[in-house]
Structure 1
Amino acid sequence: MLELQENVSLQAFNSFGFDVSARYFVELNSVEQLDMLRQLIDRCGLPVLIIGGGSNLVLTDDLNQLVVLNRISGHAISEVEGGVLCVTAGAGEDWHSLVRWTLEQSCYGLENLSLIPGTVGAAPMQNIGAYGVELKDRMLSLEAYDLNSGETVLFSCEDCQFGYRDSVFKSRYPGRYLITHVTFGLSRTFNPVLHYGGLTGELSARGIESPSALELSDLICEVRNSKLPQPQQIGNAGSFFKNPVIPVDQAEKLKQRFPKLVAFADRSGYSKLAAGWLIDQLGWKGRREGDAGVYDKQALVLVNHGQASGQEILELAGNIQADVFKCFGVMLEIEPRCYP
């Protein structure tokens, strides 16, 4: 039975810790409750916001919406032809816990995505990625419930239209589909991805020549903790800005003006700039505007020092965007979803 609650504080359900409330709130624990949820949606007559770990949200005010907390759990492994291990997990599972569980089961492929906050169901929303691996590289398919039709739909990777921190669920059908399960294609053979983000250098400094999957996961956790604050320590949503992708000729002109510009090859004809470097060059790292601030160890991360509102975080972000555009001619795009 679903319990519909009214005027519920969402402070514990968003990683920034913004104290805003939802007009209606319900916790979904199984697929058997989906049809009942659809009836509640019809009864409330309000827009729906589906949340998992709340680690990619900026809530600027109370929500006149029905907020659905997705807590569908469970995970299982099956082996298919070719030695591929299919790992299926419920959307409400904690992402990092799933990664560590797969390693304990000798299922390899997700280790580079260790310690990314959030839930399994939220991961495809923005095609999470880190250290040279993106979700689309490991996902086989997902199941989602169409809140409009009441049908369960199977999405392939191609159907999800994954892009850089983007998917069809985020850009084309926000609020329409509730992801219930995600299936990954993993392997019993560990093929480490070490070329990104100086992982090889970090391993060498520790005297590790051929890391195990667990050692690689541990290292990535250590590196992330050294650069990024955990929401339990200080409110944040991880990287707040996407790394901008611009034409190669524009990047080359910037390189002439700023020889130390950090840029990487992207799709044909484009370069990806390090947004953190751009922000850092303008002296924003560690700065505060009231309780809204920029993390002192990573300029990409905006933090809530205590009583900042979502609107104050967005105002700080807007000031950073304007400063970066004025200096570099590049407009930074905000990564988290903003409501209402």
Structure 2
Amino acid sequence: MLVQNNVPLQAYNSFHILAKANALAHITTQADISTLLADPFWASEPKFVLGGGSNVILTGDVKPLVLKVEILGRRLVAETDKAVIVEAGAGESWHDFVAWTLAQGWPGLENMALIPGTVGAAPVQNIGAYGVELQDRFDSLDAIDLVTGQVFTLNAAQCAFGYRDSVFKHSSAANPDAGQQAIGLKDRALILRVRFALPKPWKPVLGYLDLEKKMAEHGVDQPTAQQLFDWVCEIRRAKLPDPAVIGNAGSFFKNPTVTPEQCADIIGRDPKVVFYPLADGSFKLAAGWLIDACGWRGKSVGKAGVYEKQALVLVNRGSVDGPDGATGGEVMTLAKAIQTSVYERFGIWLEPEPVVV
């Protein structure tokens, strides 16, 4: 394994922002990271874990050692009466892994088809789409401690999953009010492989308007997993730009959750607001609708813009492989302007999904 210096990162982030890594190591096996951590110099250096780069906004060159995770492998771990347990290396393409599970006859991940990124990044973000989140299909994962070099396993409870959230997005910090230490693994752990429990018997997860439209269009009441996979791919391709053609990080903001009173107030002022009731009585608002209502669709700041087909997506209006693209500063200036605009109109502060580096 070789640590490279001054490595361009434009091809390693889906927004295709021009930036460099001061140093980068390709991690293709567990042994690679163990060797690196055994090196007296690199063991003590700050580190930044990079998967598919689909959820990252680079605002400048990256000073910590970049660990580019490229660990591959897919396998059946076990099969019981209740579930099929499958495992994938952290560097596997998420979408390719979903397609592979279906090809093996193991449904359960089809609603999350075409989500960009790698398998290892999926638990960090607790990715989700069309009524299914990663935590709904999660079994366990193996990771390595970047300080001690120890490999450990976490179950769902230990990952502390939340809406687009997990223990991997938080640093350890003392909580004097509770008299205890809050455990966080941000910049502390590198995920090696992830296992999923795909339920038996399988049942389709429906209920979203876009899926209901597909069912009506095809005259299907009970779609197969493959049909759902194909429909989700069609829906996402119609709404979202291909990062290989137009740089983007997918949905840029989280859908905010509000109280029934807040939702009723917004409906009173804007009856067309798009919202979804949640099991706990709160409501999730469509962030894209809020942004669109504030007139941001198609607008730009420098080479950073709001996608014409979906206001929730910010895009790079420059070329994906040239020097004329958006800077991280332009992206964040646009994002902050959108946040301010939505707050002034609706009293809601949108929270970005990508990690800002």
TM-score, length-scaled by structure 1: 0.96
Q: Which runs of 5+ in 1 are unaligned?
A: none
Match of 1:320, as an amino acid? I
1:131-142 map, 5 Å: 131-142=130-141
**Secondary structure at the residue paired with 1:325?**
helix
C-alpha distance 321-40 of structure 1, shift in aligned 2 (>3 A): farther
Deviation at 1:210, TM superposition (A): 3.0
**Residue 107 of structure 1 corresponds to which residue in structure 2?**
106
Q: Does 1:79 align with 2:97?
A: no
Q: Distance in 2 between matches of 1:221 and 1:57?
A: 23
**Residue 176 of structure 2 corresponds to which residue in structure 1?**
none
Q: Does 1:287 align with 2:299?
A: yes
**Residue 158 of structure 1 corresponds to which residue in structure 2?**
157
**Residue 117 of structure 2 corresponds to which residue in structure 1?**
118
**Residue 283 of structure 2 corresponds to which residue in structure 1?**
271
**Secondary structure at the residue paired with 1:93?**
coil
Q: More deviation in 100-109 or 167-176?
A: 167-176
Q: More deviation in 264-273 or 51-60?
A: 264-273
Deviation at 1:302, TM superposition (A): 0.2
Q: Distance in 1 between matches of 2:210 and 2:231?
A: 11
Deviation at 1:288, TM superposition (A): 1.6
Aligned residues: 338
Q: Distance in 1 between matches of 2:263 and 2:147?
A: 44
C-alpha distance 256-216 of structure 1, shift in aligned 2 (>3 A): same
C-alpha distance 191-121 of structure 1, shift in aligned 2 (>3 A): same
**Secondary structure at the residue paired with 2:123?**
coil
Q: Distance in 1 between matches of 2:278 and 2:201?
A: 29
**Residue 231 of structure 1 corresponds to which residue in structure 2?**
243
Q: Distance in 1 between matches of 2:72 and 2:9?
A: 21
Q: Does 1:315 align with 2:333?
A: yes
Q: More deviation in 284-293 or 199-208?
A: 199-208
1:28-43 map, 5 Å: 28-40=27-39, 42-43=41-42
Q: More deviation in 323-332 or 249-258?
A: 249-258
**Secondary structure at the residue paired with 2:122?**
coil
Q: Distance in 2 between matches of 1:290 and 1:231?
A: 19
Match of 2:285, as an amino acid? L
Match of 2:71, as an amino acid? I
Q: Distance in 2 between matches of 1:225 and 1:175?
A: 33
Q: More deviation in 287-296 or 267-276?
A: 267-276
Give me the CA root mean square deviation: 1.4
Q: Distance in 2 between matches of 1:198 and 1:267?
A: 21
Match of 2:93, as an amino acid? D
Q: Distance in 2 between matches of 1:41 and 1:304?
A: 40
Deviation at 1:249, TM superposition (A): 1.3
Q: More deviation in 136-145 or 76-85?
A: 76-85
After superposition, give the CA deviation of every residue in 1:270-293 in whole Å (9 maximum; x if it has no partner): 221111110001111111222110
C-alpha distance 134-19 of structure 1, shift in aligned 2 (>3 A): same
Give the alignment partner of residue 252 of structure 2, picking from 240, 248, 269: 240
Alpha-carbon contact 1:74-1:90 (below 8 Å) kept = yes
**Residue 223 of structure 2 corresponds to which residue in structure 1?**
211
Q: More deviation in 95-104 or 148-157?
A: 148-157
Q: Distance in 2 between matches of 1:197 and 1:11?
A: 36
**Secondary structure at the residue paired with 2:71?**
coil
1:82-93 map, 5 Å: 82-93=81-92
Match of 2:54, as an amino acid? S
Alpha-carbon contact 1:46-1:64 (below 8 Å) kept = no
Q: Distance in 2 between matches of 1:113 and 1:178?
A: 23
Alpha-carbon contact 2:71-2:192 (below 8 Å) kept = yes
User: Which portions of structure 1, spanning 4 or more consecutive aligned residues, are displaced by more than 6 angstroms?
Assistant: none
Deviation at 1:260, TM superposition (A): 1.6
Q: Distance in 2 between matches of 1:261 and 1:41?
A: 56
After superposition, give the CA deviation of every residue in 1:125-155 in whole Å (9 maximum; x if it has no partner): 0100000000000011111101111111110
Alpha-carbon contact 2:43-2:147 (below 8 Å) kept = no
Q: Which runs of 5+ in 2 are unaligned?
A: 171-183, 319-324
**Residue 348 of structure 2 corresponds to which residue in structure 1?**
330
TM-score, length-scaled by structure 2: 0.91
